[in-house]
Amino acid sequence: MNSEESSNTRLPELERLKQELVSAHAELRKRDLELRYLQEDVKRSRDYLEQLIFISNHNLQEPLRKIVTFSNRLLAPGVKMSEFARLYVQKINTSSLRMSALVKDLVRFLNLKRDDATIASINLSEMLEVVIADCAAVIREKKAIVSGNILPTIFGNPIQIRCLFYNLLSNALKFSRERPTISIFSRRAAQDDYYRHPELTDHQYFCIRICDNGIGFDEKYKAKMFMLFQQIHTPCDLHGTGAGLAICKKIVEDHGGFIFANGIANKGAVFTIFLPVYNLSGERLAESISAGSCLDRNDMEDV
């Protein structure tokens, strides 16, 4: 076969490759446009979110502050009004304070961001000591016992992780019936964990459990536990706005983890957190089923 015949036989192949290249280029341009539109949508959504945060933090709070201020003046000693009127002014004051707290917690929730520039190595045992110090007054007042084992070192946002442990510890202290006993301990996720929680991916996790002997909750409310502004106790038992656990869930998920709650009414609750294991280079480690110990069957397994 001479060179001319060889060239003729290769022409169809070259034409096919040319068409494939044109198609790939067109597809690439299409994907590039889609990516640009997506980036623009994300930017618009971020701008709208910033506006919502500003409005919530300023425009909504100002009238609430005035309502609280004026109602406080009406409730001051020496102001003459009927008991009927005082009752309703007190209700206005209480509702305004609660609305203000709701707005503040909404702003806190919307402000939660995962900023890689703030990611650092966090010794959770040291972080827990800081959180316990933050709650020292309540711990002394309630004569609470807080114990646990050595917690691991993780990679994460220190401010958010501190907020996570503070919310969970303060919850355990708030929703207590008697002298609170709170235990916080960790281990590597074991085979049972992967079977019990299909959400866990093929990575290694630290399993951190926070157990208390407080008022607990009915398991039928589990679906509402981590929803924003959802409270599972009766109005007379309300503490806060119901945003704390939603914030905890968002923090854990932003760190590539999962959080679960179990409880028994009037006996206690257990919050189980799974956070990914990273090596010294900040890379997630693949699952090793043999890592960690099996669950302690006596350790409130159904809680």
**Are 167 and 249 a contacting pair, CB within 8 Å?**
no
Q: How far is residue 165's CA from residue 277's CA, in Å, rounded to a whole number?
A: 18
**In this predicted structure, what is the pLDDT of residue 235?**
47
DSSP conformation letters of 61-101:
HHHHHHHHHHHHHHHSTT----HHHHHHHHHHHHHHHHHHH
Query: What local confidence, expressed as pLDDT, does residue 281 receive?
Result: 55
Which one-letter amino acid corresponds to residue 94? T
The model's confidence at residue 126, banded by pLDDT at 50, 70 and 90, is: very high
Tokens 């609430």 sit on residue: 64
Q: Hey, what are 95's tokens?
A: 């509702």
Q: What tokens were used for 235?
A: 């109005």
pLDDT digits (tens, 9 = 90+) for 4-62: 555 566 777 777 888 888 888 888 888 888 787 777 777 776 666 677 666 666 777 78
Pairing of strands 181-188, 145-148: parallel
pTM over 0.75: no
Question: In angstroms, rounded to a whole number, what is the distance separating the alpha carbons of residues 67 and 92?
Answer: 8
Give tens-digit pLDDT for 73-97: 888 888 888 888 889 898 888 888 8
Pairing mode, strands 181-188 and 205-212 = antiparallel
Residues 216 and 246: beta-carbon distance below 8 Å: no
Spatial separation of the C-alpha atoms in residues 274 and 284, rounded to whole Å:
13
300 against 247, higher pLDDT = 247
